[in-house]
Amino acid sequence: MSIDHIYQPQSLDQAIDTLSSLTPLFDAPSQSDQLTDNCLRHGFSSGQRTIDRTWFHRDQLTHTVSACSGLVTSIGTVIDLWAGPLSTELIQHVLDSQPARVLFFTPGHVTSDSPEFTPIAQLARAQQWHVIGRHHYDCPLDDRLKLSTTIQLENLTGPDDRRLFTIIRDMMKHSSDPEDRDLVDQLGLEGATRYVIDFLTQEDPWHAIHLAFTPTGQLAGLVSWTTTSLREGILNQVCTLSHVRGRGYATEMVSRAVTELLQDGATSLIADTDISNAAMVRALATNGFNPSENRIDLVPTPAVSQ
């Protein structure tokens, strides 16, 4: 089909009316919520979504419409909303536009290796994009478990706090994440560490990052959380230093983060972790988090200058 069949809305009303008339590409709870009229109007009116980050594809044979829309974030455009039938032409167009991320939320039985996702994964890998499967969690407040903790938390002194460098360097050294490995290959361990710190402190305010210490005062890792304007409590990151892993500190960091989020007024709790990260999956489960759906990330191979 011709690229002419891909078009963008001419107005906010056209964007909202078309998107809200469609069903999700994958039947995942968050996608159904995002396609409601109220949620779409909030997203577009707040500027989080824009019509220049929204695309439609009309199939000239079936006259069906497929659609996608992205968010404006600190790291660039993140395409996170997909509706209508699968359109490989639309997905190819989005990949060619080079967004920072492309996200697909799927029900629990659909993973990056599932037949339903194969056409998308093939397109992404053909262009050297990583395909990373994650669990997405929405934890009901009633299901939250209250755990006793022994760790102590301390705020960073600033984005250049040397202890942050120590933790991220250790994470990068032992990471099996393909994006992390690419960065280390391109920039070396020290350069990759600095790159990730810049990314973290750009994506979230540095004061959202908290250092964790063992009862004896030994640095154990970090935990980061934020609360959105919609009072969603977001668990951004948990990182345990390699030499203290296996002692339950990740579980304790999750528990402390949840406590702080609730005190900040969060009315829902959200987290994500790689499906392959068994320790984090276990830490979340121990705190009452159960996967509500999967999230499959398409991540471009980092193109960074040394």
Tokens of 136: 């997405």
Q: Do residues 220 and 254 make contact, with C-beta atoms less than 8 angstroms apart?
A: no
Q: Same structural domain for residues 20 and 90? A: yes
CA distance 223 to 232: 17
Q: Same structural domain for residues 150 and 282? A: yes
CA distance 94 to 152: 44
Structural domain of 211 = 143-293
pTM summary value: 0.83
Q: Same structural domain for residues 100 and 211? A: no
Q: Do residues 225 and 233 make contact, with C-beta atoms less than 8 angstroms apart?
A: yes
Asked whether residue 267 is domain-assigned, the answer is: yes
Q: Same structural domain for residues 180 and 279? A: yes
* CATH number for 187: 3.40.630.30
In order along its 306 residues, the chain shows pLDDT tens digits of 445 589 999 999 999 999 999 999 999 999 999 999 999 999 999 999 999 999 999 987 777 899 999 999 878 899 999 999 999 999 999 999 999 999 999 999 999 999 999 999 999 999 999 999 999 998 777 656 677 889 999 999 998 999 999 999 999 999 888 888 888 999 999 999 999 998 888 777 899 999 999 999 999 999 999 998 888 899 999 999 999 999 999 999 999 999 999 999 999 899 999 988 899 999 999 998 989 999 999 999 865 544
pLDDT value at position 306?
A: 46
162-174 and 178-203 helices, crossing angle to 10°: 160
Partnered with residue 235 across adjacent β-strands are 225, 271
Q: Same structural domain for residues 158 and 20? A: no
The secondary element (H helix, E strand) that includes residue 275 is none
SS3 267: coil
Q: Same structural domain for residues 73 and 159? A: no
Q: Do residues 134 and 275 make contact, with C-beta atoms less than 8 angstroms apart?
A: yes
Asked whether residue 138 is domain-assigned, the answer is: no
Q: Do residues 39 and 48 make contact, with C-beta atoms less than 8 angstroms apart?
A: no
Q: Same structural domain for residues 67 and 42? A: yes
SS3 247: coil
Asked whether residue 304 is domain-assigned, the answer is: no
pLDDT value at position 145?
A: 61
Q: Same structural domain for residues 269 and 155? A: yes
